[in-house]
Structure 1
Amino acid sequence: MISNTLRPVARVLVIIPCYNEEEAITAVVQSINKIDINNVATIDILVVNDCSTDSTLDILKQLNCKYLDLPVNLGIGGAMQAGYKFAFRNGYDVAVQMDGDGQHPAQELHKILLPIFNDEADVVIGSRFLVKEGFQSSIARRIGIKYFRWLNQFLIGITVHDSTSGFRAFNGQALQLANDYYPDEYPEPESIVQFGLSNLRIKEIAVTMQERQGGVSSINTSRAFYYMLKVTLGILFIYIRLFNKRT
């Protein structure tokens, strides 16, 4: 666990993008509120309701958390950038992304925060595949994830085993970049290229995840090839744009 008596207390904002997560969001928020990280940090929760059509918003009004209610559906990237902008403008030291479906247990939160607090990384990604414990996702998704690992290695020379993981922590430098620009459609794999070309330190940490506790994933086996194609194009576009800026 995290412990420290000398380090100043950091302000952490846990950002939860949320679309139709009425079944799981209460348990997710309540589990984070129970976390105690030994006076190293204060943790606030911001749920970004991405224009849900179920009772998510009504539930959020009853929970002990901050929330943004987006007037239109922006998708995961737009919802997360709204959260990052909130964190940056309100002076948070660290921003964490956690899913609203319960896949990311709150008790794993300290694992991705510790490298940030110890100044070992600017971006920390929680990975299912370093130790291979807990929920490992579907076969189709794992094939796609291995492909993106190869693509990242080829383009920027960085190996990330779980590039689609939405369990992440950003320090102030990464947060500023995300405030200025963040990929809007498939941000997890695309942002690895963004941060890599910006010379940020990316660290992958083994975490244990679980199956979603409610709702339905937008990506299924029948859409896997379409997803891989679109993400590949997104990664290539962001690589070309940022690489050209550096030269």
Structure 2
Amino acid sequence: MSSVASVGKLSIVIPAYNEGATIGKVLEQIGEVELIGNLTKEIIVVDDCSIDDTAYVVQQYQAAHPDLPLHYYKHTVNEGKGAALHTGIRVATGDYLVVQDADLEYDPAEYNLLLRPVLRGVADVVYGSRFMGGRPHRVLFFWHSIGNRWLTMLTNLFANLNLTDMETCYKLFRRDIVQGLTLTEKRFGFEPEVTLKVARVPHIRIYEVGISYYGRTYAEGKKISWRDGVWAICCIIRYGLLR
């Protein structure tokens, strides 16, 4: 563990749409995490107009943990994951910001892996890669894996980066950097857009660390589809060419 001594705050932005079955567990996991560097936590749940019991589960957890800085926002219409992230990014007040899905595919205990390069003063942005090896990785869809790697390669081509996992949920930013970006993609196009735009920030330092991945199937609630992959290609070309 790093010996870096720091005092600050990590904003954890959770976009959620019909995640009542899992978001309570995610909040419990986040609550149990002890962050390095004496960092405190700010949890921001953005409910993208869920029609299940997501709101109830979050509010019950909030009532049971009144000392935990948990802020709940709800969109009046369903706009998409990217739109929920825009809301969360806008209201965040931490020194650093990390994206957390509400579906148990990623482990909040690994925030410290992402924080370590930033707190050491060598990184401004850290991506958690599912493909770097060394950590648990659920074996799932071959074509999803190929698609993710191809989208990452195409993004690298335009951004002049050597990322291994552009589509990862776990992206940690210095808050001032991500709030300084103009982000427009309201669905899953958020991933290539934010990557291509952050890569153009002068003197930006981007790192990757290996993370675990507990993926789920469509029967278990996975939402991304091949249409989102096609749109991601459009976004890569659009934001890769337009400056």
Into which bin does the TM-score normalised by the smaller protein fall? Answer: 0.7 to 0.9
Given residue 211 of structure 1, which amino acid in structure 2 is its aligned partner? G
- In structure 1, what is the Cα distance between the partners aligned to 2:90 and 2:220? 27
The answer as to 2:211 corresponding to 1:210 is: no
Given residue 96 of structure 2, which amino acid in structure 1 is its aligned partner? V
- In structure 1, what is the Cα distance between the partners aligned to 2:201 and 2:139? 30
1:115–1:153 Cα change, 3 Å: same
The alpha carbon displacement at 1:136 in A equals 4.9
1:16–1:212 Cα change, 3 Å: farther
Aligned residues: 232
Paired position in structure 1 for 2:228: 227
Cα distance per residue 1:55-97 (max 9 Å; x no partner): 101111111322111111120111001000011xxx3211110
TM-score for the superposition, normalised by structure 1:
0.86
Paired position in structure 1 for 2:4: 4
Q: Is this contact kept in 2: 1:3–1:37, CA < 8 A?
A: no
1:161–1:38 Cα change, 3 Å: closer
TM-score for the superposition, normalised by structure 2:
0.88
Given residue 137 of structure 2, which amino acid in structure 1 is its aligned partner? G
Query: Secondary structure at 2:85's aligned position in 1?
Result: helix
Paired position in structure 2 for 1:32: 30
Query: Secondary structure at 2:199's aligned position in 1?
Result: helix
Aligned equivalent of 1:20, options 15, 18, 21: 18
Q: Is this contact kept in 2: 1:129–1:136, CA < 8 A?
A: no
- In structure 2, what is the Cα distance between the partners aligned to 1:2 and 1:136? 31
Cα distance per residue 1:182-203 (max 9 Å; x no partner): 5322211222111112242221
CA RMSD of the aligned region, Å?
2.0
Query: Secondary structure at 1:197's aligned position in 2?
Result: coil
Runs (4+) of structure 1 exceeding 4 A deviation are: none
Cα distance per residue 1:5-54 (max 9 Å; x no partner): 3x3x1111111110000111001001111111255200121111110010
The answer as to 2:205 corresponding to 1:201 is: yes
1:137–1:160 Cα change, 3 Å: farther
Aligned equivalent of 2:88, options 79, 83, 86: 83
Q: Is this contact kept in 1: 2:183–2:194, CA < 8 A?
A: no
Identity of aligned residues (%): 25
Query: Secondary structure at 2:223's aligned position in 1?
Result: coil
The alpha carbon displacement at 1:165 in A equals 0.5
Alignment of 1:98-109 (within 5 A): 98-109=100-111
- In structure 1, what is the Cα distance between the partners aligned to 2:112 and 2:211? 10
- In structure 1, what is the Cα distance between the partners aligned to 2:166 and 2:234? 15
Paired position in structure 1 for 2:49: 51
Alignment of 1:55-66 (within 5 A): 55-64=53-62, 65-66=70-71
Given residue 60 of structure 1, which amino acid in structure 2 is its aligned partner? V
* Range with greater deviation from structure 2 (161-170 or 137-146): 137-146
Paired position in structure 1 for 2:67: none
- In structure 1, what is the Cα distance between the partners aligned to 2:207 and 2:140? 21
1:188–1:4 Cα change, 3 Å: same
Aligned equivalent of 1:177, options 160, 173, 180: 180
Paired position in structure 2 for 1:245: none
Unaligned runs of 5+ in 2: 63-69
Given residue 221 of structure 2, which amino acid in structure 1 is its aligned partner? V
